[in-house]
Chains A and B, each alone.
Chain A
Amino acid sequence: MQSAATTITVREGVFAGPGREPRTLPCISARGLSRHFGSRRALRDVSLSVAAGEIHAVLGRNGAGKTTLMRILAGLTIPHEGTVTVLGEDATRSARTLRSRVGFVPSGDRSFYLRLSGLENLLFFARLHGMRKRPALERAAVVLGSVGLEDAADERVGHYSHGMQKRLSVARGLLTDPAVLLVDEATHDLDPPAGRVVRELVQGLAREGTAALWATQRVEEIRGFADRVTLLRNGEVAFTGSVEALADEVPVRTHLVRLGGNGRASLPTLAELERSLAGAGSIASSGNHERGNEYVLRLEDGAVLGDALALLTGAGVQVLSCRDERPEIEEAFIHLTGRP
């Protein structure tokens, strides 16, 4: 627990107490979190850490435990096992001081007063964050503009589409310029341009030092956006690491090969090449018209690349080059979580 005179350097995740040297700590640190609802296990031994300025994606299918994890970090649910600290404080105690520095974008679309306008809703929540009326109004207008809702500011939220409500929810999460931002399925109901706007907002905050935890099941949005990813499967961590490392989790089965005639006037036909592989894989044109000798080689499970290339060479062709065709993250996602 923080002592009264503790100083926290929020944005860089450096926490210093009286008589202690400053030390770098993750802004979010979860260790061995477990949680069940009745007989259903929602989380089991989940650990992760998020540094200041990092965007950390939590990926998983429906029911993988993403929302439970977010709710624990937001102090709304207590874990049965494990520890969780946010900005150096025990998140399960949900201290008032901690809540003032954490922005939370919940997954549901029912978190506003439908009879009030978007601006009135944000003004209300800004006041609950301790802002005076005028600064609250100004801040509410700014964040509404940042999510593209300035023209709908005075409309009742009940008249908003799901996507607009989601953007409003993101705007509420940004009200206090939080040191930690927890975003649960923010882009679920958004069209691609709106989703991009929200991601850019989060990236902007991260550049300023905010630690962002971004729960999603949309695999495609994390490439080029998240720094690291934790993949949950049935409440357990199936993978944690960089987005690139996630793609590496899938064994490479597809290769681009360039073949030469080995003194022959022309290359064997595709059927001949396929036969030469003797079931080790399949081969097809890459479709690259500028490189007529480029092929896509797909290996069967258990087949070894070297053996397949030897078979091709044995059929009288030269393998001029061979490079891996990297799998999409979605393939890694399916590989690690299993097909639905």
Chain B
Amino acid sequence: MTTLPHAAPSRWAVLADELAKLPAFFRRDIRIALSYRLGFVTDWAALLIQAFTFSFIGRLVNPAALPTYGGHPVSYMEFAIIGIALGGFVSLALGRVSSGIRQEQVIGTLESLLVTPTSTKTIQLGAVLYDLVFIPIRTAVFLLVTALLFGLNFHASGIAPAILVLVALLPFVWGIGVATAGLVLTFRRGTMIVGLGAAVLTLLSGSLFPLDLLPHWLEIIASFNPLAIAIQSMRETLLGGEGLSNALIATAELIPFALASLVAGFWVFRLSLQRERRLGTIGLY
């Protein structure tokens, strides 16, 4: 006979238990990623081809038409590469976060996860943890490699502030991704939702052209786009040599978006999961 004390564990004990599970998710996904070696190669090849394409487009653009950073003119390649990197960061993160749970549903493991004593928040975070670590690293390495390949003039002092901005942007993207994951759980097909969202965010981000080229009303809307805030700050730090204070201001501007995005994201996801349990369709795809 086994007698178990059924004292409810404290909130902190539960939190510690849940956090201890995250490395298992990370280990799982890194092993799966490593089993797709060709995927790594094609991903990097596609990125570099895109960079080459913009290096040629850059020859058509007069640097005088571009904003200056720290009082210095910049080439179109320098201007665009940060936008490309961050645009890629957002679309990849959004895609992975929104499809993480969907992926579990499609391969049939979602129910197996839900019957373990693991909170849905941990499952949601665990499903994307590897990507949340990998994608910023991929973005930073991409910027470094392109700077070396194309002789781009980045300020070394701007690297740390740029990383801060990148990290500050992550919760916003994550929240949007979680909300999308909830919608995907409900409507099953989510590629178009993610694609449309990423396209709108990118259009209004100034990643490939200065925002002042937009119609004035769109420019006003774009000024509230967290991606635009992040790109602007990263250009100012990496191209203009602006210091930590610039990144801190951008971070402060991003925090409300991040909070709103995370709260809304987890709310939508919880509603979707409840709906699936009510309908009994969690395992259907």
Contact A35 B280 (CB under 8 A): yes
Any B CB within 8 A of the CB of A76: yes
Contact A71 B116 (CB under 8 A): no
Interface residues of B in 256-285 (CB under 8 A from A): 277-280, 282-283
* Contact partner, A128, options B5, B24, B108, Cβ 8 Å: B24
Contact A7 B117 (CB under 8 A): no
Any B CB within 8 A of the CB of A124: yes
Any B CB within 8 A of the CB of A309: no
* Contact partner, A116, options B20, B28, B113, Cβ 8 Å: B28
Which residues of chain B are within 8 angstroms of A94 by Cβ–Cβ distance?
Answer: 114, 277
- State the CA gap A157–B116 with chains docked (Å): 20
Given contacts A8-B6, A108-B108, A130-B117, whether A76 and B24 have CB atoms under 8 Å apart is no
Contact A10 B32 (CB under 8 A): no
- State the CA gap A115–B109 with chains docked (Å): 13
Which residue, of B108, B279, B280, has the highest number of chain A Cβ atoms within 10 A?
B280
12 A/B residue pairs, CB under 8 Å, sorted by A: A75-B115, A76-B282, A78-B278, A78-B280, A97-B117, A108-B108, A111-B108, A114-B107, A115-B31, A124-B27, A130-B21, A209-B1
Contact A10 B4 (CB under 8 A): yes
Given contacts A10-B4, A35-B280, A113-B32, whether A96 and B24 have CB atoms under 8 Å apart is no
* Contact partner, A106, options B5, B23, B32, B112, Cβ 8 Å: B112
Which residues of chain B are within 8 angstroms of A150 by Cβ–Cβ distance?
Answer: none
Any A CB within 8 A of the CB of B2: yes
Any B CB within 8 A of the CB of A11: yes
- State the CA gap A75–B24 with chains docked (Å): 23
Residues on B close to A: CB < 8 A?
A: 1-8, 14, 17, 20-21, 23-24, 27-28, 31-32, 35-36, 107-109, 111-119, 277-280, 282-283
**How far apart are B132's CB and chain A's nearest CB, in angstroms?**
18
- State the CA gap A106–B231 with chains docked (Å): 47
Contact A120 B115 (CB under 8 A): no
* Contact partner, A4, options B8, B17, B279, Cβ 8 Å: B8
Which residues of chain A are within 8 angstroms of B24 by Cβ–Cβ distance?
Answer: 123-124, 127-128
Q: Which 8 A-B pairs have the closest CB atoms?
A: A110-B108, A127-B24, A77-B280, A100-B117, A128-B116, A99-B117, A115-B35, A4-B8
